[in-house]
Structure 1
Amino acid sequence: MDTNHAGLAPCHTERVVGGTTVVEVHGEIDLCTAAPLSARLDTLTAGGRPDVVLDLRPVIFIDCSGLRMLCRTRNRVLARRGRLRLVAGGGCFPRILRAARLADVFEIHPDLPSALFGLVPRDEVSAAAG
């Protein structure tokens, strides 16, 4: 088993769009890579009323330490009266959140425009219509 995560470490890009910090995470979020990403998210959520969108569509793997990092970030944001949105797309990530019983804990959007511009998440539209 190869324990060298150098090529698999999640990298991320950050930008601010209309006052919202958008963090696009790439690669794997696991035991070896969640801590540095969590430290960066701690910095981004340190101020009052943080407004953060995590674009997780490019993430190819997440384990329980990655889910713990997401929950920690959510708790920090809520404690500071901010807002956290996840962009999960239609891949396996929404299924993972449902399996972990976290789907109702996060504000999940299918794409970046809906997360940034206040469009109603697709699941809420379906629930309201049905």
Structure 2
Amino acid sequence: MNDDHVTPPPTAYARTYRLARTTVVELAGEIDLGSAHGVHPHLDAAALTPVAPLVVFNLGPLEFIDCYGLTLLVRARRRVLDRGGRTAMVCAHPPTLRLLRMTGLDLLFRPVRTLDEALRPPG
């Protein structure tokens, strides 16, 4: 990423990469309490990235997420916003979208269907 920031190594549940000045955290598989150890380092590192004005949570490869996993995303989002950044979410998986709607988090994250959409400037 840059000299001040170390990207965590990929896990079965998360990988982090850069696209220009954007940090993308891609989540995969099943995100719950049991997989948190493979997700935490990626979300924490992305939230603390000093040069990334945009952090995208890409849930494209995600198969399942529970309320604990959603809590991790809400926490990471808050930390990004507290540092003056912004977030976007990619999600087209119907069960995950349904969970986001049921919890009201669809209004917070405003998921889009593709990474290209998430990378567009706001407005």
TM-score (norm 1): 0.76
Where structure 2 has 5 or more consecutive residues not aligned to the other structure, the ranges are 1-10
Would the aligned equivalents of 1:87 and 1:109 in 2 still touch at CA under 8 Å? Answer: yes
Other-structure match for 1:27: 29
Residues 57-95 of structure 1, C-alpha deviation per residue, up to 9 Å, x if partnerless?
211111111010011011101111111111002522221
Q: Name the larger-Rg structure.
A: 1
- Which one is further off, 42-51 or 101-110? 42-51
Would the aligned equivalents of 1:77 and 1:83 in 2 still touch at CA under 8 Å? Answer: yes
- Distance 1:46-1:54 versus aligned 2 partners, 3 A rule: same
- State the alpha-carbon separation in 2 of the partners of residues 48 and 107 from structure 1: 24
- State the alpha-carbon separation in 2 of the partners of residues 41 and 10 from structure 1: 14
**Residue 68 (structure 2) pairs with residue 65 (structure 1):** yes
- Say what the alpha-carbon RMSD is for the aligned residues: 2.0
Other-structure match for 2:84: 81
Would the aligned equivalents of 2:43 and 2:73 in 1 still touch at CA under 8 Å? Answer: no
TM-score (norm 2): 0.79
Off by >3 Å, runs of 4+ in structure 1:
47-50
* Sequence identity (%): 37
Query: What does 1:43-58 correspond to in 2, within 5 Å?
Result: 43-48=45-50, 50=52, 51-58=54-61
How far off is 1:49 after superposition?
Answer: 6.1
Number of residue-to-residue matches in the alignment: 112
Which has the larger share of helix?
A: 2
